[in-house]
Amino acid sequence: MRVLEGARPTAWTRLFGARGARVGLRLAFAAALGLAFLLGAAAQSTGFWGVIVRPALEAGVEAPLRWVRARLANPRRITVDLAFDDYQRLALQRERALAAQALFASEDDYVSARLATDGKEARVKLRLKGDSAAHLQGEKWSFRVDVKGGDTVLGLQRFSLHHPATRNYVSEWLYHRALAREDIVSLLYEFVEVTLNGKDLGIYALEEHFEKQLIERNRRREGPILRLDEELMWREAHHLVRSFRGADESGYGAYEASAVDGFKSGQLLADPVAAATFTKAAALLDAFRRGELATSEVFDVERLATYFALTDLLGAEHGARWHNLRFYFNPVTSRLEPIGFDAECKPTQYLSGIEATIVDGHTGKRRVLDRPLHERLFADAAFRARYFAELERVSEPAYVDALFRDLAPQLAAATSVLHREFLQIDSPEPLVRRNQAYLRALLRPHRAIRAGVLTAEDGGLHLEVGNLQSMPIELLAVGPAGGALAKLDPTVVLAPRRFGELVAFAKVSLPAAAAKPAAAPAPLRLRWRIPGTSRVVEEDVAPSPWSALAAVAVDVTRKAANLARFPFIELAADGTVAQIRPGAWTLREDLVVPPGLTLRAGPGTRIDLVARAKVFSRSPLEWIGTQEEPIELVSSDGTGEGLIVANARETSRFEHVRFEGLRSSSADGYALTGALTFFEAPVEMRFCELARNR
């Protein structure tokens, strides 16, 4: 072995020589890679990867600081002890639910347990809970807990414990605090550590259930809590939808078929006073669903409007579905109030108060989302206006600033508790600010209406106005651009344009104060807003109609023949000749001549076209006058739109005919450049005069 001068031999070279050292280093490197692979596989199989490594990687550079803050957090610990046989009963129920991909719980599923927290111990009964298998994954099963003997735990008689992921972690916590800020009934919701039979299960979410303590804590008078029973919906989903995907449902689980139910309804009905209140509340909710009562007659409109506005701001659409909605009946106001529940906050994709569309998972096409309860609620114009007012308020950046400023200390504390197990969980603030910007953009459409002048006659002015988008539009005023706009009294509300439908135009008659300036050359402007909101917008009115039918209705080529409307025209028995009797006749509407005959006129005939009338013929004309008594086609008011002969094929003949003061037909999209027009209709003219035509 040769060693370079100045180089000190390593242990590898002393033991194995230079070549052996190189081989040894390669083997060591390969062994290190193999060890890393084995450790990674072990971590994955033991859960260490998912619990520690992956969350830390997802948290990135914030992971160390989050870890330190999480160690300083001091969450409440709940300890649950079950008998071995009872635990096995729950485990068997879980296995059956996982196999069926559904959990259908009953009172028989409860098992007895002892629960301790804050140095206090209580006897409870508990069962598995959750509508889907997501509540039963891994070791973090979800539980419904009932405290026995009239006792309470944390002031609660009934509550749930579930994996924080089933409600989207800290977003659900924020949802309930946001509702509480607006005095809307909200649940106690916090994060705790749970130990089951001595095993640390980590962080759980504790969620209050629907008991009288909920009403008391929200400073309300005792009253029943209602819902639309969802049991059959889940039964049908399991029995038909999941088993025969794509097939028709029977419908027994639909909103329309669901029963109006209450929590602890059996106890309520056993008390005559409570039963009367519950019966009244249930009747109100059912009468609303049947369309017999309006939203404002059944619900606390102000709180319900704020509830839906916050639903949109926080992306809590899941909680506003019919089967998740819960209502407290206030016996003082005799109105139903919403209760926040099961929000699962996500990016907002559509508003509560407008028609919503989604991409169909089966067809891949966009379709209207079936929301019958929402349609009934927002059919009430007063409630809808209040909702849009609240939506405008909560979509202001200042509102979101105040929300997170007020809740900052508590939010930081709740998030730190979650970080004890879920380092990757971020603040919900970016989500809420994204939703806030989306709501604000929806409330500020680039263009919302399309308007045009329909008619301006008899001293009045009529517009046609169409709503381009999915929110209602309230027309407030109209007038000349740059001038004072006349208020519409009452205002006109345009219905939203429904998904897949073309723009529908409504006729709007303007007040006398607006009619005169509108008829002037100055362009018109319309002032509008979304009902209930403060932002007022002005848009231009086109000088002509926008709707297709308005444009073609006055097209003379589409008008029916109308010889019978003019008593001075006589039709021959065989229908081949129509004769204009001599005399002076005034036409205030178009004369339309059908094909298959000849229209004749003789000496001493004078036709005066006024009010933009014209003669339109698909048959040849034979107008033969004399030098002493020429035939005259004139317009005394200068608006007559002349003579048009189209597709007559046979030759028209004119002798000693005077055409005077006529103009081209250029209105309503039927633009001709001549006061006399012959199209695919040969013509001969002798001794005719054309004077002062335009």
Strands (E), 197-253: 199-208, 225-228
Q: Tell me how far CA of residue 236 lies from CA of 99, 130, 248, 280, 464, in angstroms.
A: 17, 16, 11, 29, 48
Strands (E), 460-560: 460-467, 473-480, 486-494, 505-509, 524-529, 537-541
As given in the structure block, the two tokens for residue 442 are 């929806």
The percent of residues in the chain predicted with pLDDT above 70, rounded, is: 87
As given in the structure block, the two tokens for residue 192 are 């705790």
- Edge-first strand order for the sheet with 631-634 is 583-587, 605-609, 631-634, 657-660, 689-691
Smallest CA-to-CA distance from 550 within 479, 656, 630, 465 is with 465
Residue ranges of the alpha helices (H) in 480-564? 512-519, 548-552
Inform me whether the pLDDT recorded for 10 exceeds 80: no
Smallest CA-to-CA distance from 418 within 666, 130, 164 is with 164
Instruction: State the pLDDT at residue 516.
Output: 54
Q: Tell me how far CA of residue 62 lies from CA of 56, 58, 66, 339, in angstroms.
A: 9, 9, 6, 36
Q: Where does residue 273 rank: exposed (0-12), middle (13-18), buried (19+ CB within 10 A)?
A: exposed
Instruction: State the pLDDT at residue 39.
Output: 44
**Cβ(467)–Cβ(495) below 8 Å:** yes
**Cβ(43)–Cβ(37) below 8 Å:** no
Smallest CA-to-CA distance from 547 within 641, 671, 669 is with 669
How far is 187 from 265, CA to CA, in rounded Å?
A: 20
Type of residue at 585: W
Half-sphere exposure of 388 (CA within 13 A, CB side): 23
The residues pairing with 570 across neighbouring beta strands, listed in sequence order, are 579
Top-confidence residue, 396 or 358: 396
How far is 689 from 681, CA to CA, in rounded Å?
A: 20
How far is 616 from 555, CA to CA, in rounded Å?
A: 11
**Cβ(274)–Cβ(308) below 8 Å:** no
* Per-residue model confidence as pLDDT tens digits over 605-638: 999 999 999 999 999 999 999 999 999 999 999 9
- Look at the block and give the residue holding tokens 């009244």: 280
As given in the structure block, the two tokens for residue 445 are 């459409």
Q: Which secondary-structure segment (H or E) carries 260?
A: strand 260-262
Half-sphere exposure of 164 (CA within 13 A, CB side): 28
Instruction: Tell me the three state secondary structure of residue 329.
Output: strand
- Asked which of 122-136, 145-159, 167-181 is least confident by mean pLDDT, the reply is 122-136
- Asked which of 44-58, 455-469, 669-683 is least confident by mean pLDDT, the reply is 44-58
Mean pLDDT of the chain: 89
As given in the structure block, the two tokens for residue 550 are 């308005």
How far is 427 from 429, CA to CA, in rounded Å?
A: 5
pTM above 0.85, yes or no: no
Q: Let me know how long the chain is.
A: 694
Instruction: State the pLDDT at residue 37.
Output: 47
Cis omega (within 30 of 0) for bond into 490: yes
Instruction: State the pLDDT at residue 269.
Output: 86
- Look at the block and give the residue holding tokens 């994954």: 137
* Per-residue model confidence as pLDDT tens digits over 441-500: 999 999 999 999 887 665 577 899 999 999 999 999 998 888 888 899 999 999 999 999
Q: Which secondary-structure segment (H or E) carries 173?
A: helix 170-181
